């Protein structure tokens, strides 16, 4: 098992513990109600969900922040303070996305799943999950970006190379 697979396995276990907390945090910060959230992320009848400019800009900013941090994270040279700053930046972008949410209800419900993953990653990078390394939070955020790119229409979106 390579390091990334190990991190993903660890993250899966941590996700069970953090999922409830992050899901409720996502629900608290994303106040409008569109009915029950779907159980899993899926396409819109085989097509990617439509996005709006604030969502695309926020996700592009998160992608840029993560891209800038990946080398230090991979080299295991990222300090707790750097993880905290990265978490703060990602969280700020998520707050901006949530504040400016204008998606149709079904797309919005799907976006909630991506936001929950982003917020889970933020909490781990902040050090709130004591039994999980902060690096696992970065992996969670990168995974959320991959899910976003696979499920939401974002012209010019490029997956992170990691």
Q: Comparing C-alpha atoms, which of 67, 66, 70, 74 is closest to residue 94?
A: 66
**Is residue 45 packed enough to be buried (19+ CB in 10 Å), middle (13-18) or exposed (0-12)?**
exposed
Q: What pLDDT digit, counting tens, does each position of 50-86 carry?
A: 999 999 999 999 999 999 999 999 999 999 999 999 9
Q: How far apart are CA 101 and CA 130, in angstroms?
A: 32
SS3 content of the chain, % helix, strand, coil (to 5): 65, 0, 30
Q: What pLDDT digit, counting tens, does each position of 20-55 carry?
A: 333 434 444 444 444 455 679 999 999 999 999 999
**Is residue 31 packed enough to be buried (19+ CB in 10 Å), middle (13-18) or exposed (0-12)?**
exposed
Q: Can you name the residues that pair with 44 across neighbouring β-strands?
A: 47
């Amino acid at each position: 098992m390579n390091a990334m697979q190990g991190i993903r396995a660890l993250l899966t276990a941590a996700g069970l513990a953090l999922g409830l907390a992050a899901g409720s945090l996502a629900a608290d910060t994303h106040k409008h109600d569109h009915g029950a959230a779907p159980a899993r992320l899926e396409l819109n009848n085989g097509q990617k969900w439509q996005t709006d400019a604030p969502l695309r800009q926020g996700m592009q900013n998160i992608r840029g922040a993560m891209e800038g941090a990946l080398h230090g994270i991979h080299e295991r040279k990222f300090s707790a303070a750097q993880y905290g700053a990265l978490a703060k930046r990602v969280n700020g972008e998520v707050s901006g996305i949530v504040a400016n949410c204008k998606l149709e209800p079904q797309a919005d419900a799907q976006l909630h799943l991506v936001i929950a993953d982003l917020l889970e990653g933020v909490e781990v990078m902040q050090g709130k999950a004591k039994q999980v390394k902060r690096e696992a939070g970065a992996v969670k955020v990168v995974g959320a970006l991959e899910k976003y790119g696979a499920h939401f229409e974002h012209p010019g979106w490029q997956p992170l190379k990691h």
